Each structure stands twice: as C-alpha cells, then as structure tokens.
Amino acid sequence: MKSYKVVEFGQPLQRIEEPTPTPTGTQVLVRITAAGVCHSDVHLWEGYFDMGGGNKYSTQKTMNPPRTMGHEIVGEVVALGPDAKGATVGQKAVVYPWIGCGSCWYCNSGIEHLCPSPRALGVNADGGYADHVLVPHAKYLFDYTGVPTELACLYACSGITAFGAVKKAQGNDGGKPVLVIGAGGVGLMGVQFARVVLGRDPIVADIDPRKRELALQQGACAAIDPRDANARKQVMELTGGTGVGAALDFVGAESTAQFGQRVLARGGRLIIVGLFGGTFSTPLPMFAFTGAQFIGSVTGSPAEMAEMMALVRAGKVTPVPLTTRKLDDADAALQDLRKGVIMGRAVLVP
C-alpha cells in the first residue's frame, strides 16, 4: 500500500510503500476512494497547537510519527478480519474516525469521541492519506448512498464537527438568530446544519470577502466583517437589538471568541469549535450578569454521525464547495490549506 506520512514535524510528507495490512479480529480493511484534508491536519503536521501566551501543546505523543494523517475517509471494504461482523466485501461507506478505547465510561456511554485514550484514525492511528486503512470494527462504517464519494468523506470530520456544534445550540438559543464565525470548510457546514437543524438561516462573520460571498451563496442571511468598527452594531440590527442566541466559533482565535461574546443575547451560548489558538479572558461576573454559557465542542458521537448521515442521504444538506487533488499531491494540498488559498474543502483521490 501507498501512504503519505508525517515523518518529521513541519517537513514535507513522505511517500511510503509497505505491505497492505491484513485485518485481524474485528478489523475491516477499507480501500480508500477519497480523503479530506482538514485544517486540524495543519496543526498536527506542525507538531503543536497554539495554547496562547507562548505556550504550545505538542502532538509528539499523540501522533508518534511516522503517522499517516487524514481523518475524513470514504472507501470500499476489501477484506474482513475473522471476527468481523456487520460488513461485507464491496460495501461502500464513510468511516467514522473518532474511535475510543472501547472500555472506558465515555465509550460505554456512547460518547467515545471524548475518550481520554483515543484510537482516532489519522491522529493516534494511521488514516486516510493512503490507499488503504484498517478500521477497528464495522460499526464505524456509515452508508452514504446517493451522496457523491468526494463529498461523502467530508462528513466524517467537517460535517460531524459542525453538526455536533449546532446540536449544542439546539434548544439553548431561545429561537433567536444564530451567528457562524468563520466561513471556511467547517463553517460552511455549520451554515448548512444551522439551516436544517435550527430552521434558521444564520448570520456569518468572516474577514475574507470571498468567503462572505460564498456563505451568502450557501444560505447565510447576512455576512459581515468582524473587523468592521460597526460589526457589533450590524449584528444587533439584524437581531432586533437582542443579540444572537448562539455564536458558533469555527475559528477559535482570541479575536473571534471575543466577538462572539460581544454579540451574545442574554442567556446566549458561545460554542468554541476552531483550533486556531490563543487565550481568552473575560470578567467572571459577566457570566452571572448575562447568564451566558461558554462551551467547547469537539466532533460528535457515533449516534450523531448516524443522525447527520440520515439528513445528508435525504438530500436536506446543500453540498459545500470542494477541490479534488491527487493523493500524490497530499503535501501540496496541505500547504495550500495552510496558506488559506483553498475555498471550501480539499479532497484527495487515488
């Protein structure tokens, strides 16, 4: 099999050829037909996440290079382990990558994406920048009938990440308008799921005029530049002076979180999704004064994956724009994403 691995952080991905693995136990071997390039891959490739104040969280132990990145995977089952059940050779599926240890409280509670000892594909275990991948169990395979292959892979991360974040706003936004901060690939998914799950076209904030225009094309009711001196005033006018019931920050920078907080309605919820990095501070009495809630959101559970894919298969989610690149261009695609020149999502194909 062929793969492109992180061998040394911050250095070009290296092409590796090695024997195609044979599945054991409950494992399923999937021949990859498409794999998304996610912005979190940039941080994983760099070897750290910016924690603010000059502090960095190293991914050395998490990834333990050499490691094949890529956690947005779609493919065809080509072999089964002797104990594998629930899959058939030839089956086509999206792979849920946020796999836990299988035995802790989180895994037993159905929220294994929060497992403290994960086996996440493309992060803790080899993933999709390859032509084959081992999946621990058939329960992580999800049907994508009726969805284009290159699009289907995106729902394994950008899709489930946006869906999981929107679900945290559901029932907690008071029916007020919602704000999506950041109109990159995940943010655009957030626009779509806000429309489907919450039943409202969201306001979008992004510093890039091209991405604001794209967000409007994708169904946002308005798009503003958060750097504009009148940005908060614009949001207040759009919400009848109340502010937004929920702000979903798909950037995760200090400036975006601060903006999200400033436009929240009383009792509103700021949901931090993005991993850009930095620190955030606010006077503690403001929590009590405003009733605001600040929470984090990381991907979504297998049950949420099933719920989301049902919506996608039913045609209720407008496709986000994507760019396809050859697997052999994996490093170039990663660097283009790092430079911010990719609109929508980038997908690697064999």
Q: What is the CATH number of the domain that holds 310?
A: 3.90.180.10
pLDDT of res. 53: 84
Residues 203 and 306 in one domain: no
Residues 121 and 192 in one domain: no
Residues 282 and 315 in one domain: no
Pick from 251, 276, 296: which residue ends a domain? 296
Pick from 296, 314, 334: which residue ends a domain? 296
Task: State the residue range of the domain holding 64.
Answer: 2-157+300-349
Residue 271 backbone dihedrals phi, psi, to 5 degrees: -110, 115
Instruction: Please work out, in degrees rounded to the nearest 5, the angle formed at the alpha carbon of residue 52 by the alpha carbons of 56 and 167.
Output: 100
Residues 238 and 309 in one domain: no
Residues 192 and 98 in one domain: no
pLDDT of res. 234: 98
Residues 112 and 231 in one domain: no
Question: Are the beta carbons of 251 and 167 closer than 8 angstroms?
Answer: no
Residues 61 and 177 in one domain: no
pLDDT by residue for the chain (350 residues), tens only, comes to: 999 999 999 999 999 999 999 999 999 999 999 999 999 999 999 999 988 888 999 999 999 999 999 999 999 999 999 999 999 999 999 999 999 999 999 999 999 999 999 999 999 999 999 999 999 999 999 999 999 999 999 999 999 999 999 999 998 777 889 999 999 989 999 999 999 999 999 999 999 999 999 999 999 999 999 999 999 999 999 999 999 999 999 999 999 999 999 999 999 999 999 998 888 889 999 999 999 999 999 999 999 999 999 999 999 999 989 999 999 999 999 999 999 888 889 999 99
Number of domains in the chain: 2
Residues 207 and 250 in one domain: yes
pLDDT of res. 344: 83
In angstroms, the CA 7 to CA 1 distance is 17
Residues 133 and 279 in one domain: no
Residues 190 and 207 in one domain: yes
Residues 115 and 37 in one domain: yes
pLDDT of res. 189: 94
Instruction: Please work out, in degrees rounded to the nearest 5, the angle formed at the alpha carbon of residue 346 by the alpha carbons of 225 and 278.
Output: 50
Whole-model pTM: value is 0.94
Whichever domain contains 255, its CATH number is: 3.40.50.720
Helix (H) or strand (E) holding 302: helix 302-313
Closest CA to 129 of 15, 46, 11: 15
In angstroms, the CA 74 to CA 345 distance is 15
pLDDT of res. 25: 98
Residues 267 and 304 in one domain: no
